[in-house]
Structure 1
C-alpha cells in the first residue's frame, strides 16, 4: 500500500490526499512529529520537507513531484489535460496556487492565531493535553506578533497577504462562476492544487480530516465568512463531496494518521 508521510494540517499534504482519493488509490497516512520525525523523514527521502510518498521502494518528495509520479504510474483518471493550451493553463495554475495561496495563507493563519486565543488552541491536535492548550492560549498576542515579525509574519506582512488573498479568491470566484472546474470540463491538477492549498483559509466542514469538530467549516475572518468568495468555497465543497474520501478507522484512505515508523 502507498504510504503518505504528512502533517494533517499541511496544505500540500492535503493536495496529495485529494489526488490520491480522486484516483481511487489506497494509502496509509503516517503523521510526522515536527523535529525528530523530520529527521527520520530525512533518512527516508534525503530531505526534511513533507509530504513524502513511499510506493514500494520508490520514495518521492514534494507535492508537485508526487502528483506527476502518480499520473505516470497510475494513469487512470489523469490529472494533466492533453490539449496543449489546457495543459499549459493547468500547470500554470498549479504552480501559482503553491507559490501564492500556499505561502500567503500560512501568514494569515498565523495572524488569526496570534489575535485569537480560542482559534489558536482550536487548531491544536485532538491529542494535545488540556494543560498545554491552556499555556498556548495564554501567550499574549504582542509576543506572537513579535515572533511573527522575525519570520516574515508580522502584522504588516499578514495584512499584505490577506489583501492579496482577497484578489486571488475574487479571481478564482469569477473563473468558477459558469464553469465546473478551473480548466475544461474535468477535474485536473489545477483544481486539486487550488483546493488543497486553500485548506488553511477555511477548514473543510465534512469528515475529511482529523480536526477538532469546533473548527470544521471555520477559517480566516474576512475570507472564509465573506459572501464575496462564496462561489469559490461552494465549488471547493462540491469538489470534496465528489472526490475526497471521508475519514475511516482502518488506516487506509482518508483515515486518521498513524505515528511515523520508518524501518
Structure 2
C-alpha cells in the first residue's frame, strides 16, 4: 500500500490527499512528529518537509513531484491533460496555486490566529480544560505579532499576503463563473492544487481532516465569511463532496492538529 508521510494540517499534503482520493488509490497516512520525526523523514527522503510518498522502494518528495509520479504510475482518472495548451495551463495554474495561494494563505492564517481569539481557541481539542482554552484565547495579539516578525510573519507581511489572497480569490470566482472546473470539464491537477492550498483560508466542512470539530467550516475572518468569495468556497466544497473520501472512524474532536510548518 502507498504510504503518505504527512502533517495532518499541511495544505501541500492536502493537495496530494485530494489526488489520491480522486484516483481511488488506497494509502496509509504516516504522521510525522515535528522536530524529531523530521530527522527520520530526512533519512528516508533526503529532506525534512512533507509530503513524502512511499510506493514500495520508490520515495517521492514534494507535492508536485508526487502528483506527476501518480499520473505516470496510476494513469486511471488522469489529472494532467495531454492536449498541449490545456496541459500547459494546468501546470501553470498548479505552480501559481503553490506559490501564491499556498505561501500567502499560511501568512494569512498566522495573522488570523494572532488577532482572533475564538479562531485561536478553536484549534484546541475538546479535551483541553476551559481554563487553558481561555488562557490561549486571551494571549494578546500584539505579543503574538511581535513573535511572528522574527520568522517573516509581521503585520506588513500579513497585510500584503491578505491583499494578494483577496485578488487571487476574486480571479478564481471569475474563472469559475460559467464552468465547473478551472481548465477542463473534469478536475485536473490545477483544481486539486487550488482546493488544497485554500485549506488554511477556510477548513472544509465535513469529516475530511483530523481536526477539532470547532475548526470544521471555520476560516480566516474577513475572507472565509465574505460573500464575495462564497462562489469559490461553494465550488471547493462541491469538489470535496464529490471526490474527497471522508475519514472512517475518526476521533477528530479529541485530537490536536499538528503545528503548521512555517519554514
Q: TM-score, normalised to structure 1's length?
A: 0.91
Match of 1:182 in 2: 182
Q: Is the 8 A contact 2:52 2:61 kept in 1?
A: yes
User: What does the per-residue CA deviation read over 1:157-187, in whole Å, with 9 as the maximum and x for residues that have no partner?
Assistant: 1111111111100000000000000001111
| Cα separation, 2, equivalents of 1:6 and 1:186 | 27
| Cα separation, 2, equivalents of 1:194 and 1:123 | 23
235 and 128 in structure 1: CA distance in 2 versus 1, 3 angstrom threshold: same
| Cα separation, 2, equivalents of 1:40 and 1:30 | 12
Secondary structure, counterpart of 1:49 in structure 2: coil
**Structure 1 gap ranges (5+):** 251-255
Match of 1:23 in 2: 23
Secondary structure, counterpart of 2:199 in structure 1: coil
- Displacement of 1:52: 0.7
Q: TM-score, normalised to structure 2's length?
A: 0.91
Match of 2:5 in 1: 5
User: What does the per-residue CA deviation read over 1:140-172, in whole Å, with 9 as the maximum and x for residues that have no partner?
Assistant: 222210111111111111111111111100000
Q: Is the 8 A contact 2:123 2:214 kept in 1?
A: no
Give the aligned length.
253
Which structure exhibits the higher relative contact order, with contacts defined as CA atoms closer than 8 Å and separated by 6 or more residues? 1
55 and 124 in structure 1: CA distance in 2 versus 1, 3 angstrom threshold: farther
**Structure 2 gap ranges (5+):** 259-263
| Cα separation, 1, equivalents of 2:126 and 2:239 | 26
